[in-house]
Structure 1
Amino acid sequence: MELELRHLKTVRAIAEAGSLTKAASTLGLAQPALSAQLKRIERALGGLLFERSRDGVRATALGELVLDRARVLLPAVSELQEEAVRLAAAGPQPGYRLGGTHGPLLGGLVDRLAAAEPGAPVTTATSWSEREIADSVSAGRLDFALVGVCGESRPPVTAGALAWAEVARDPVYVMLAEDHPLAPRDEIELAELAAEAWTDVPGDGCFGDCFAAACVRAGFTPACVYETDTASCVHLVQVGRAVGLCRATFPATPGLVTRPLTGTPLVWRHLLGWHPASPAAHRAPVVTEHARAAHAAALHRSAGRTERLV
């Protein structure tokens, strides 16, 4: 793993908060997810950055070195981003530069913008990382971020604060092979899937922790979770190797069925983000409405399960 600016922001947040728990709250992450991220950063740098105790954390000598560099680099990069946004705002920027994670909404948004404004170029960038997409908008490399967060979690934190609009909320469904014993059911209790292997797509938010917590509330711990790309998730479900998690907008797919989980233990919020000072900011209301229309169309294609929306 190569060290990135977001890793320095994480280290700085931990030092300023004085504990992983407080830093996780500030960053909008679950504490286990932040702990795992810190361990990856420490492996990349070759040593411990903080000494842990019941009273919190204290920077090691290596940690102080990293923090000294972060205190110089982060403000400089933030200033560069702000100047870049101001410079970009000085002149017209035709078209739309969109960033998003996996899912059907980005394609639907591109389609609707291209149909509404045939002469305006639309470009896209994708990443598994919601934070990476948001950082690109903050830096002026993209106009809009179409991302998602789990439940009531906050959107990704960036150097330049972004404005966010909620596009829609989806209940999280379970994907099953069409011949699975539970496939004929209208909805499924999460506890009934305790013996299953699971598959899901990666991400840097807290969804994995939220899913694990929902399983614990249902009385079990997932024995196996395959984290892979969407196509591989679908294949593992189709051949009966695992069950998967998906949003209500997941399209109808041969060989599998999707079913709501009883009580809606997990919810996914679709968000659109932009920089308030960017030249594209005045188009945010139009883009938001197009994104909402794309979501409604995706729901319709996925068999019209609107009665389960929350």
Structure 2
Amino acid sequence: MDLELRHLKTVRAIAEAGSLTRAATALGLAQPALSAQLKRIERALGGPLFERSRDGVRATALGDLVLERARVVLPAVCELQEEAVRFAREGASGYRLGGTHGPLLGGLVDRLARTEEEAQVTTYTSWSEREVAGGVVAGRLDFALVGVCGESSPPEAGRLAWTEVARDPVYVMLATGHPLASRAHVELAELASEDWTDVPGDGCFGDCFAAACVRAGFTPARVYETDTASCVHLVQVGRAVGLCRATFPATPGIVTRPLSGAPLLWRHLLGWHPEGRAAGRAPAVLAHARSAHEEALSRSAGRTGAAV
């Protein structure tokens, strides 16, 4: 029998589980089937890989050697597969952009479509910054346009190149009839009795917001986490106040105001794979993203004072 990658994965699973029973469960196999497979692997490698006891299994000297090699081989093969997929998918011309919600992605698409009319521009959106970054790592996307709270590290920081597009203070959305709507700035502590609404995400923004509220002397009574349209509706009808980026567009029935002292910051980031074939286009895409941010900021509700 020739040794295959799946055999190394089986040996690794047994070592990590510490017993054949637990490894069989993790691999979705019956224990007798796993035991038989292990025996075949051991015959192929020339000796036992594990010592069995009532407490489970422990790697032999040969088993330690195989596991040491597996720790090198398996990640290398995984990386090779990712690079091959990325190379194949990046062969086509055009731009594959991933992003979270917000006006910057639309602005970036518009600029690329205007300046490179022949290029195909496709987009993928998700609430998950990690999912978007993972798409770039796997070669399904060329660029990720996401945001992080304050100085937090972006997802896949060790595998992708990230550059800051811009940074903005986080604003509060208020209904036009709210008592604080006419103010130029709003103290976070003045909103202690309010219900809140915000969009979901898998970064640390929720924790940063909770910490800012604690520093302001209160804990939010209720936070409605929902999609952008529902957040806007809840603010418009006075059910809640919301958090938004400074680039939030002017919207009927809503005003946006900066929080005094800027207790929360948002960094817009552009990421790409440094070894990807789209890496050479990163400076141009970054310039377009920064222009999109400037335009979105100039048209935002906070800048225009709309609906006050």
Which TM-score tier does this pair reach, normalised by the shorter chain?
0.7 to 0.9
- Which residues of 2 match residues 194-209 of structure 1 at below 5 A? 194-209=192-207
Structure 2 residue runs of 5 or longer lacking an equivalent are 1-15, 17-25, 27-54, 56-66
CA deviations over 1:190-233 (Å, ceiling 9, x no partner): 00000000000000000000000000000000000000000000
CA RMSD, Structure 1 to Structure 2 (Å): 2.3
Quick one: which amino acid aligns to residue 156 of structure 1?
Answer: P
2:190 counterpart SS class: helix
Instruction: State how far apart, in whole Å, the 1-side matches of 2:92 and 2:123 are.
Output: 15
1:257 counterpart SS class: strand
2:237 to 239, 242, 251: 239
Structure 1 residue runs of 5 or longer lacking an equivalent are 1-14, 16-44, 46-60, 62-67
Question: Who is 1:83 aligned against?
Answer: 84
Question: Who is 1:50 aligned against?
Answer: none
Question: Who is 2:270 aligned against?
Answer: 272
Q: Is the 8 A contact 1:233 1:244 kept in 2?
A: yes
Question: Who is 2:298 aligned against?
Answer: 300
Q: Is the 8 A contact 1:88 1:278 kept in 2?
A: no
Instruction: State how far apart, in whole Å, the 2-side matches of 1:134 and 1:201 are.
Output: 19
Question: Who is 1:101 aligned against?
Answer: 100
- Which residues of 2 match residues 247-258 of structure 1 at below 5 A? 247-258=245-256
Quick one: which amino acid aligns to residue 231 of structure 1?
Answer: A
Quick one: which amino acid aligns to residue 81 of structure 1?
Answer: E
CA deviations over 1:35-88 (Å, ceiling 9, x no partner): xxxxxxxxxx9xxxxxxxxxxxxxxx9xxxxxx9xx797665433212323455
1:294 counterpart SS class: helix
CA pair 75-223 structure 1, distance change in 2 beyond 3 A: farther
Instruction: State how far apart, in whole Å, the 2-side matches of 1:174 and 1:126 are.
Output: 24
The size of the alignment, in residue pairs, is 238
Question: Who is 1:171 aligned against?
Answer: 169
CA pair 224-75 structure 1, distance change in 2 beyond 3 A: farther
Query: Which one has the largest radius of gyration?
Result: 2
1:181 counterpart SS class: coil
- Which residues of 2 match residues 57-206 of structure 1 at below 5 A? 76-87=77-88, 92-157=91-156, 161-206=159-204
Question: Who is 1:30 aligned against?
Answer: none
Displacement of 1:157 after TM fit?
A: 2.0
2:145 counterpart SS class: strand
Instruction: State how far apart, in whole Å, the 2-side matches of 1:243 and 1:250 are.
Output: 14
Question: Who is 1:20 aligned against?
Answer: none
1:211 counterpart SS class: helix
Question: Who is 2:288 aligned against?
Answer: 290
Instruction: State how far apart, in whole Å, the 2-side matches of 1:222 and 1:155 are.
Output: 26
> Percent identical across equivalent pairs?
74
1:251 counterpart SS class: coil
Quick one: which amino acid aligns to residue 256 of structure 1?
Answer: I
Instruction: State how far apart, in whole Å, the 2-side matches of 1:171 and 1:259 are.
Output: 10
